[in-house]
Structure 1
Amino acid sequence: MNPRQSCVLALLEWEKGKYFSDEILHTSLEKNPMQPLDRAFFMETFFGVLRNLSRLDFLIGQLREGRIDPQTRAVLRLGLYQIFHMRTAPHAAVNESVALGGRARGLVNAILRRALREKEALESDLLAASSAVRTSHPEFLIARWEEVFGPEATRILCEWNNEPADVHVRANGLRVTVGELLRSSTSAMPSPVHPLAIKVEHIPPSWIAMGLCYVQDPSTLLSCDLLAPQPGETVLDACAAPGGKTTYLAQLMHDQGRIIACDLYDSRVARLRENLKRLGVTIARAIRHDCMQAGPPLDPDSFDRILVDAPCSNTGVIRRRVDVRWRLTEEDFIRMPAQQLALLRRTATLLKPGGTLVYSTCSLEPEENDLLVEKVCAAIPSLRFVESRRALPFVDRIDGAFAAKFVREK
């Protein structure tokens, strides 16, 4: 199966609404392993189409009136993405798409050839379209962000979300220094955002195999630095998989002390354990456990520090999770804060008096961040708010993140 066929099948699977794009990609590559160039083309087209859905559907609407079946629409999206967003040779974009068109081959051929003839006019139409079409974001998200951050910041944020994400790694201080990693790769450069973060074009396979680094955006380190666990302490990572924060907590503790790392699903706990082993972490115990439920090993008053990296809307990481924008609804910003507050009520009881709890999200939304801190202060009097930190893509040029530090009153 060639990468274009794989892309169309992946797009059709995504349309069912059951799985996110990263899960679909992983499953597709497991079933149909590809050579590096084919794999890169598949990933570029699959994620690129999802990033630009509104733009591509606008173009289809300009070129064809009436209903189009899902498979033909997927083929057209793929062809138009190559014509308007890639350097694919025009004849290849058309011919390879036509080959995937099945009974609609003639229609696909006519629409894509017309798109080539009218490309300049269609690009002008895109420039004149609404911001939701131009930036390929839902109107309600744009409206929310403009109200909170202003039109200019929202424009920059939408542009940021549509760019391929940079690759950063964190040097695993349990096995190597930042300097040693930088000296071992000509494509690596230090990040100005965090002393342990390294930006790379290509990750040397040995870095992964030997557990010398963990792939993560510098924004994910913010909450761990705010928690500041110390060697010898007992720490809970309440929503731990796949382990980026857990392994960094162990690094901050010099692999001395005790970490309980929880997640809900066996598959995620298995991945967490693999990462703990790969990075040489010995103090963390990974368990499948719902932190909303009582019972050992999550006993009351038993942890010096707790990290609650709560499930959230992910609006700060749309650049990486390209389809999040299409899955979110207004109701999510009512439902998620209620769940986040409930999780904090529960985990607060596990904290020792005088202990520290850090709540974190990768959301940009006030309801999940500052407004939730206000709710915590009102609803959980045992927790005293200390400070918060955040990263904003349109300011810091890294993923969005928020972290709030609380101390349990003695």
Structure 2
Amino acid sequence: MSDHNARKISLSILREWEESSKFIDSIIDKKFRSNDLGHLDKSYTQNIVLGVIRNLSLLDHFVEKLRNSKMSSETRRVLYIGIYQILLMRTPDHAAVNETVNLANGKSRGMVNAILRRCVREKENLLEEKEDMDPADKFSIPDHIYARWEKQLGKETSMDVAENSNIPAKLMIRSNELLGGLSDEDLTEIDATRIDQFKGFYEVKKLPLKAIADGRCYVQDPSTSIAPYLLNPDSNHTVLDACASPGGKTAILSSIMSNEGKIIASDIEGPRSERLLKNLKRLGVKNTEILSGDLRETKDALENENVRFDRILVDAPCSNSGVFRRRADAKWRLMPNYTNELIDLQLELLSAVIPLMKKGGKLVYSTCSIDAEENTGVISKIIETHTHLEKLDEVQLIPNDINDGAYAALLG
């Protein structure tokens, strides 16, 4: 397949994303399954699509600067693709201009051609201007989100978070000791660098596809390990892993427990539970049962059967503000006051499972958010309403060169 067709598919993906409420990952997956794309074409398409979405407000700024006049949404999307290639992807200028112009319809081709050629002429000035922009604009973080970061994290940390949130994530894997883990030969072949701060994690230059298929490793960010290790269950414990899909944290719990004891891993019925079951089977997890359904409803059956847990992990749905670099479209879904409904859900989930905890048991609440209201704020509220609990420990990770953002608090 030619680069032109890859650009054409990129345009159709961006069009569907803007015109629907679908997640970008699901649109990309559907397009890849319906088109015969090789590995390089998939990478090229994904680079363009996710690059445009990551830098959407920056690209919009450049479009307005280069041609401040009305244009159709389709023409604007074509320009995003072209300007991204010229300024941020560093595609050869002639290819970026000519192939992108070919994406435009007849009436807009002249305008697209003129704007992109001006972009090439003014490239150095535009890139210099970018370096002097405010962080929210430079790294395409919605103003209301960046304002929250500055208030909660301070100016300097917010700038670092914005930059790290706009850079594609590095390839990270976890060696799965349940099935023997990665061999020295594997590690050499994939040019792996051990992440000393996180047990079993490596940064790699390429994915060890056979080891992944065999279950000897799992593609997973190091930040996902803080909650299981904070919970630290014994091998004879009964553990509830709420909101467990896709299963990365469940597998770490199983490893900590030496595949002994018992884990009930719960998630909503359908694709999430199916994916959870498939991953745990591939990773050699044998001490786990899958409970499909909304725990706010299924917990009654557990309570009636007098099922109680030594340890509970609630990895709650959240804003994803710590993983924007992995979920490029997440930031564009968060409206002002986005935490309100999320906090209600997080408190509901915690309140549903706390009665299932044994006397003397412990619970970890975790998110992939860096927003204080979803993290320490939720913990403060749950302790107010469940006075027998106290916060024993907590960990907050900020997105950096090694790990995504994440939060975990231990209650007992």
Question: Per the shorter chain, which TM-score range?
Answer: over 0.9
Q: Does 1:52 align with 2:55?
A: yes
Q: 1:223 to 1:181 in 2, by over 3 A?
A: farther
Q: Is the 8 A contact 2:6 2:41 kept in 1?
A: yes
**Which residue of structure 2 aligns with residue 36 of structure 1?**
39
Q: Does 1:4 align with 2:10?
A: no
Bigger Cα displacement from structure 2, 184-193 vs 222-231: 184-193
Alpha carbon RMSD of aligned pairs, Å? 1.7
Q: Give the TM-score normalised by structure 2.
A: 0.94
AA aligned opposite 2:138: R
**How much has 1:128 moved relative to structure 2?**
4.4
**How much has 1:205 moved relative to structure 2?**
1.3
AA aligned opposite 2:313: L
Q: Does 1:308 align with 2:311?
A: no
Inter-partner Cα distance in structure 1 for 2:377 and 2:324: 21
1:232-381 alignment runs, 5 A limit: 232-293=236-297, 294-297=299-302, 299=305, 302-381=308-387
1:156-195 alignment runs, 5 A limit: 156-177=160-181, 180=184, 183=187, 185-195=189-199
Secondary structure, in 3 states, of the residue corresponding to 2:177?
coil
Q: Does 1:64 align with 2:73?
A: no
AA aligned opposite 1:112: L
Secondary structure, in 3 states, of the residue corresponding to 1:312?
coil
- Cα offsets for 1:119-177 (capped at 9, x unmatched): 22333443444432212111111111111111111111111111110111111111124
Inter-partner Cα distance in structure 2 for 1:129 and 1:200: 33
Inter-partner Cα distance in structure 1 for 2:307 and 2:190: 49
Inter-partner Cα distance in structure 2 for 1:123 and 1:266: 46
Q: 1:181 to 1:241 in 2, by over 3 A?
A: farther
Structure 2 alignment gaps of length 5 or more: none
AA aligned opposite 1:167: L
Inter-partner Cα distance in structure 2 for 1:115 and 1:373: 50
Q: 1:267 to 1:177 in 2, by over 3 A?
A: closer
Q: 1:17 to 1:379 in 2, by over 3 A?
A: farther
- Cα offsets for 1:233-272 (capped at 9, x unmatched): 2111110111111111111111112111111141111111
Q: Is the 8 A contact 1:301 1:353 kept in 2?
A: no
Q: Is the 8 A contact 1:64 1:111 kept in 2?
A: yes
Inter-partner Cα distance in structure 2 for 1:276 and 1:329: 35
AA aligned opposite 2:366: S
AA aligned opposite 1:169: I
Q: Is the 8 A contact 2:135 2:162 kept in 1?
A: no
Bigger Cα displacement from structure 2, 170-179 vs 317-326: 170-179
**Which residue of structure 1 aligns with residue 91 of structure 2?**
88
- Select 1:404's aligned residue among 406, 409, 412: 409
Indicate the percent of aligned positions where both proteins have the same amino acid: 41
- Select 1:392's aligned residue among 383, 389, 398: 398
**Which residue of structure 1 aligns with residue 120 of structure 2?**
116
**How much has 1:9 moved relative to structure 2?**
0.8
Q: 1:181 to 1:353 in 2, by over 3 A?
A: farther
Structure 1 alignment gaps of length 5 or more: none
Q: Is the 8 A contact 2:322 2:398 kept in 1?
A: yes
- Select 1:97's aligned residue among 93, 97, 100: 100
Inter-partner Cα distance in structure 2 for 1:364 and 1:250: 27
- Cα offsets for 1:71-106 (capped at 9, x unmatched): 111111000000001121111101111111013222
**Which residue of structure 2 aligns with residue 23 of structure 1?**
26
Q: Is the 8 A contact 1:387 1:404 kept in 2?
A: yes
Q: Is the 8 A contact 1:301 1:349 kept in 2?
A: no
AA aligned opposite 1:7: S
**How much has 1:336 moved relative to structure 2?**
1.1
Q: Give the TM-score normalised by structure 1.
A: 0.95
**Which residue of structure 1 aligns with residue 203 of structure 2?**
199
AA aligned opposite 1:210: D
Secondary structure, in 3 states, of the residue corresponding to 1:317?
coil
Inter-partner Cα distance in structure 2 for 1:24 and 1:177: 33
**How much has 1:180 moved relative to structure 2?**
4.1
Q: Does 1:222 align with 2:200?
A: no
Inter-partner Cα distance in structure 1 for 2:269 and 2:20: 20
Q: 1:390 to 1:169 in 2, by over 3 A?
A: same
**How much has 1:225 moved relative to structure 2?**
0.1
How many equivalent residue pairs? 406
Bigger Cα displacement from structure 2, 258-267 vs 53-62: 258-267
